[in-house]
Amino acid sequence: MRENHYDLIVLGTGPSGGTVASKAAKQNRRVALVDSRRFGGTCALRGCNPKKVYVNAAALLDQVRRSHGKLLDRVDVGVDWTQLHRFKESFTRPVAERSEASFQEQGMATFHGAAKFVDVDRIDIDGTEISAERILIATGAKPIDLKIDGQDLLTHSDEFLNLRTLPRRVLFLGGGYVSMEFAHVVARCGVATTVVEKNPRVLSNFDPDLVDQLAEYSIGRGVDIKTNLDVTAIRRAGDGSLRVSCGDETFDADLVVHGAGRVPDIDDLDLRSGRIDFTDGGVTVDRHLRSTTNDRVFATGDCADSGSPRLTPVANEEARIVTKNLFSDTPDAVPDADVVPKVAFTTPSIASVGLNEAAAREAVDDLVVRADETSSWSNVRKTGDTVAGYKILIDKPTDRIVGAHLLGPAAEETINLFALAMKHGLTATDVKSTLFVFPTFASDTRQML
């Protein structure tokens, strides 16, 4: 057996890559694991898990302050950002310190460096060549190249999460998940906060009516939202601050954060040398997540052009499927990602599952739309002064829920009830007839239906 030949090479150590590698190792496969960064992946080290620590701090601050004169009489609370960063590190540091050792203890060979294909079955890692019967590409995503002057002055989300102190003024480019979630955090910390979005509305992946509610509320909580503006340049001013140009308008900030989208991190893999087709959406795969042009290669997660949402639960599901298909002569497993809820962890959260209203009107002949602004509902009012609303889309002849959209306290949890109902074919009547604990936000779903 050749020393540098393996049963499986995995590029990337995030939720899909690490899972597939571990399962293959348990099957006594020889596995090589490659990452250009610290082992552990984006979600655990630079994404959803550490982000939620900051989001929780903002949500706690927000609720305490909203409780003034209602639930509490003194609300003089604040965030020590250095302390918060230290607490965040208690989640990420153990992953960074233990991940590679854990993989090695499972018998895997680990490699650090930039990987690129040199043939259909061979990878070069900074001068070291290895080969395998199967290769999994699970390299995730990276910030999109904005192609503007001064983009080297941008701070990326992973760098933002490592800040030990906050500046006075922060500007976020783009109005998607990253920008809006972090904007809500820093605004609650007393920082002058601006979001610049090129489209007419932020959070374009969510229901526009609920987004409008959230945007208005955000502005009232210190997030200055500027839409229909294209950033053309970023320059360093004489006092060390940053000046962001958007046509005739300019904005000054001490920190400018890139939140304008991410793309598959595959540019440096030299996929053509591996005879691997790809698009702007990632590696071209069939329904079994195998490359359409190189049957030794599979791809999962954010770097696969699978048509599925780029979310951690989807990456986990794709890892499960690839594990089944990797060494099969006739792969037959396909991912089950038809019903996937999504959430932006703003304060409060906005959530969605299924079709939006425009798509539902095209797909459903007799659509029932149930919607309301619910800030005055009892369960919402009990938390203090906040914003809330919903929109539920129902196919009237079948009584099936085809889309659910929520804004407000616990939206990130309540949306899972709708996902469960849609996944298992429960009707609106089925959900409405369920006796939930009262008073809870889950019990409010009955009134929505």
**What pLDDT sits at residue 340?**
95
Count CA within 13 A, CB hemisphere, residue 178. Answer: 26
User: What does DSSP assign to residue 180?
Assistant: H
φ/ψ of 407, rounded to 5, equals: -140, 130
Label residues 371-384 b or e (16+ Cβ within 10 Å = b): beebbebebbeebb
**What pLDDT sits at residue 384?**
83
What are 265-301's pLDDT values in tens digits? 999 999 999 999 999 999 999 999 999 999 999 999 9
The interaxial angle of helices 15-26 and 312-325, nearest 10 deg, is 30
| Residue 76: strand, helix, or coil | coil
- The vertex-261 CA angle with 93 and 408, nearest 5°, equals 80
**What pLDDT sits at residue 257?**
96
User: What does DSSP assign to residue 189?
Assistant: T
Per-residue pLDDT band for 379 (boundaries 50, 70, 90) equals very high
Per-residue pLDDT band for 72 (boundaries 50, 70, 90) equals confident
**What pLDDT sits at residue 323?**
96
Query: So where are the chain's domains?
Result: 5-143+263-325, 151-260, 348-448
Helical (H) or strand (E) element with 184: helix 177-188
**What pLDDT sits at residue 440?**
93
Burial of 272 (C-beta count, 10 Å sphere; 0-12/13-18/19+) = exposed
Instruction: Assess whether pLDDT exceeds 70 at residue 303.
Output: yes
- The vertex-234 CA angle with 230 and 239, nearest 5°, equals 140
Q: For the chain, give the percent of residues with pLDDT over 70.
A: 99
Per-residue pLDDT band for 346 (boundaries 50, 70, 90) equals very high
Tell the residue number behind the tokens 């090695």, with chain if given.
104
**Assigned CATH for 5-143+263-325:** 3.50.50.60
Domain 151-260 of CATH type 3.50.50.60: yes
What are 137-172's pLDDT values in tens digits? 999 999 999 999 999 999 999 999 999 999 999 999
Cβ-proximal residues to 172 (8 Å cutoff; 6+ apart), any chain: 178, 179, 180, 182, 183, 193, 194, 195, 196, 256, 257, 259
The rounded radius of gyration (Å) of the Cα atoms in the chain is 23
Rounded (10°) CA dihedral 129, 130, 133, 136: -90
What are 381-426's pLDDT values in tens digits? 988 879 999 999 999 999 999 999 999 999 999 999 999 999 999 9
**What pLDDT sits at residue 2?**
63
Residues forming a β-bridge with 368: 394
- Report d(CA 100, CA 97) in Å as an integer: 7
The pair of three-digit structure tokens given for residue 71, joined into one six-digit string:
């639930």
Domain 348-448 of CATH type 3.30.390.30: yes
**What pLDDT sits at residue 197?**
97
172, 194 contact by CB (below 8 A): yes
Q: Measuring CA to CA, which residue among 329, 331, 326, 332 is closest to residue 31?
A: 326
Per-residue pLDDT band for 66 (boundaries 50, 70, 90) equals confident
The pair of three-digit structure tokens given for residue 234, joined into one six-digit string:
């970023």
| Residue 190: strand, helix, or coil | coil
**What pLDDT sits at residue 226?**
97
Q: What is the mean pLDDT of the chain?
A: 94
Q: Measuring CA to CA, which residue among 157, 180, 135 is closest to residue 33?
A: 135
Per-residue pLDDT band for 127 (boundaries 50, 70, 90) equals very high
Q: What's the gap between Cα 28 and its chain centre?
A: 33
What are 242-269's pLDDT values in tens digits? 999 998 899 999 999 999 999 999 999 9
Average pLDDT over residues 174-196: 96
Cβ-proximal residues to 250 (8 Å cutoff; 6+ apart), any chain: 243, 244
- Report d(CA 311, CA 339) in Å as an integer: 12
Q: Work out whether strand 128-137 and strand 5-11 pair parallel, antiparallel, or are unpaired.
A: parallel
- Report d(CA 421, CA 399) in Å as an integer: 12
Q: For the chain, give the percent of residues with pLDDT over 90.
A: 86
Instruction: Assess whether pLDDT exceeds 60 at residue 1.
Output: no
In SS3 terms, 223-276 reads as: EEEECCCCCCEEEECCCCCEEEEECCEEEEECEEEECCCEEECCHHHCHHHHCC
Q: What's the gap between Cα 112 and its chain centre?
A: 25
Helical (H) or strand (E) element with 167: none
Same fold flag, 5-143+263-325 and 348-448? no
DSSP codes, 370-435? EEEE-TTSHHHHTT-S---EEEEEEETTTTEEEEEEEESTTHHHHHHHHHHHHHTT-BHHHHHTS-
Cβ-proximal residues to 60 (8 Å cutoff; 6+ apart), any chain: none
